[in-house]
Chain A
Amino acid sequence: MDMEQVKKPLGGTVLQTAHETQEKVNNEATTRSMRKILRDGVEKVMNGVFFACGMMAIMAVLLITGYMVVAGLPAIGEIGVTEFLFGTQWASTAAEPKFGILPFILTSVWGTLGAILIGVPVGLLTAVFLAKVASPEVAAVVRPAVELLAGIPSVVYGLIGMMVLVPAMMDIFNLNNGTCLLAAILVLAIMILPSIISVSETALRAVPREYEEASLALGATKIETIFKVSIPAAKSGIVAGVVLGVGRAIGEAMAVMMVAGNVANMPGLFKSVTFLTTAVAKEMSYASGLQRQALFSIALVLFIFIMIINALLNFVLKKGDKHD
């Protein structure tokens, strides 16, 4: 834009005296060069700012990774890898402390699987409903509700779980104590719905209309088209949503801590259980010595789990790109 402004008056200088022309050109040259300097300066500064911001994220990741490894490894070394990962007893402050985190690992795995088992069908069907079935008016009500679900803080999920779900568990299943793995699974299933729904919906919307029209033209019903054409075509996006949900479920601490009971039992649907996250969160405040170090080691294990899930997500997304 600047160049045009400069060019126009330059083209009109023919009728002016040489002196005036010279002066004008000089003036314009200075303005132009000043502008250029300023513009280049801003470019450079902003480039620097962007770079710094990018570095900040990388620094944070590096710092956290480094710290987790440095803080987490010593206890694993002291306890022994097999005893730590496959020990079935956790009694961190006993006279003869035991640091086996298998109950936590299994609880996290089962809890996440359970949440996926309930959350994925519900989430996927909601996404289909929003993307393909619902009238725009209905979708305009449901979609904000789903978005709101994503915005509810986990402590609120936990609180409602503790006040409503846990007593309900006692009544429905006739339990002595309502805090159990099932309660945690239900809370997690609801918590992962928003990520599954929104990512799946986007993927379903991106399915080319021609695919569906072709299917309909061949005589398939709308439902057949959705299940046999739309969903398979949006597969990689849906899987990405599910993996995001897994990430959220496995990393959730607050809500789970309020409904799971936090006893280091091996997982059982109606038993009080501890997840990897809650194992760290519940004991951290008063931990000391090897107990504290072992908590860092648990965090390291959790961190590795999350890294694997992220890698999986990247893999799924890349594979999806190739197909397209």
Chain B
Amino acid sequence: MKKIIAMVLSLCLAGALLTACGSQTTEPAGDTAEATAAPTAAAEEQEEAAALSGTVTTGGSTSVEKVVGAFIEAFMQANPDVDVTYDPTGSSAGITGASEETLDIGLSSRALKDEEAQSGLTGTTFALDGIAIIVNNENTVEDLTLEQIKGLATGEISNWSEVGGPDAPVVLIGREAGSGTRDGFESIVDVEDVCKYEQELNSTGGVIAAVASNPNAFGYASLSAVEDTVKAVTVGGVAATEETVQDGTYQIQRPFVFVTKDGVEQSEAVKAFMEFALSADAADLIRNAGAVPLA
């Protein structure tokens, strides 16, 4: 009898545990780093825009997911009545969405082309993305030009001695298809879909660890993630730092852009969201999401 009661009780407990797990998953997902950075920005926002309501539809580049995700989390915490959505469909779809007015804000991880800007779209850069080129610490190569990086990535340059390094084969270690960093690297270096990868890993940490353990390797990683275990080479003589990305001298970088259509009356919520994203408060959110804030 006691055993049965114990069994029933433990079953109830298990049930409670299950429901507890269930309710947890409904909370907004997000990095703890983003969450801790949010309150400071959120508190100020709350005072000036207490009664804001409505929806803000954004969409486009998948690379901006972390940064915009952090914006949305912080913004919606401050303005619970505003519903901000983000649909990761790619930069081109984001720009099209803004131009066709299906999106309030299109998100692009490249600057607008001239014909896009002339068609009545405005691009507002809200963050920068710097990508460091990393090699193994044993590698003696210190500097590479963009052209050399292209050769290394496509396999045209297959030995490090061709770019002033040791006599060793070149092994490219990169990210998986769909990753924003991969998309950024490939589009800036102009090697889209022609890279000769030896390894594809699904995290920046994984790439850094793999490069650190293979003397032949080179790879790419978000600027903010690079550490001592690997060496970041200078590109065209410029070291990859937050400052060189901000002043534009570091070449492997791209802007994260809000795309809006000229002449469209924007709702207060949309204006407030863009203002928030461009404010000084957002800098920490951007940094925590692995991107570089504007100077």
Residues of A within 8 A of B (CB): 42, 45-46, 49, 91-95, 162-163, 166-167, 170, 176-179, 257, 261-263, 272, 274, 281-283, 285-289, 291
Contact = CB atoms under 8 A, between A and B. Distances in A.
B154 interface: no
A283 B197 contact: no
B178 A262 contact: no
B122 interface: no
A263 B201 CA distance: 9
A176 B193 contact: no
A177 B214 contact: yes
A179 B202 contact: no
Interface string B156-190: 00000000000001010000111110010000000
29 contacts: A42-B1, A49-B11, A91-B177, A92-B178, A93-B177, A93-B183, A94-B193, A95-B193, A162-B213, A167-B214, A176-B169, A177-B171, A177-B198, A178-B214, A179-B210, A261-B199, A262-B199, A263-B198, A272-B198, A272-B199, A272-B200, A281-B202, A282-B202, A283-B177, A286-B178, A287-B178, A288-B90, A288-B178, A291-B177
Contacts of B210: 162, 179
Contacts of B177: 91-94, 283, 291
Interface of B: 1, 4, 7-8, 11, 62, 65, 88-90, 169, 171, 176-180, 183, 192-193, 197-202, 209-210, 213-214, 216-217
Given A92-B178, A281-B202, 7 more contacts: A49-B8, A167-B214, A282-B176, A283-B176, A286-B179, A288-B90, A291-B177
A162 B62 contact: no
Contacts of A291: 177-178
A177 B213 contact: no
A179 B198 contact: yes
Contacts of B171: 176-177
Contacts of B88: 286, 288
Contacts of A176: 169, 171, 198, 216
Contact of A286 (B62, B209, B217): B62
Contacts of A46: 4, 7
A45 B192 CA distance: 63
A261 B214 contact: no
A92 B178 CA distance: 8
Contacts of A162: 209-210, 213
A287 B1 CA distance: 53
Given A177-B171, A289-B89, A263 B200 contact: yes
A163 B11 CA distance: 42
A263 B199 contact: yes
Contacts of A274: 200
A274 B200 CA distance: 9
B110 to A, nearest CB: 14
Contacts of B214: 167, 170, 177-178
Nearest to B192: A95
A286 B109 CA distance: 15
Nearest to A295: B178
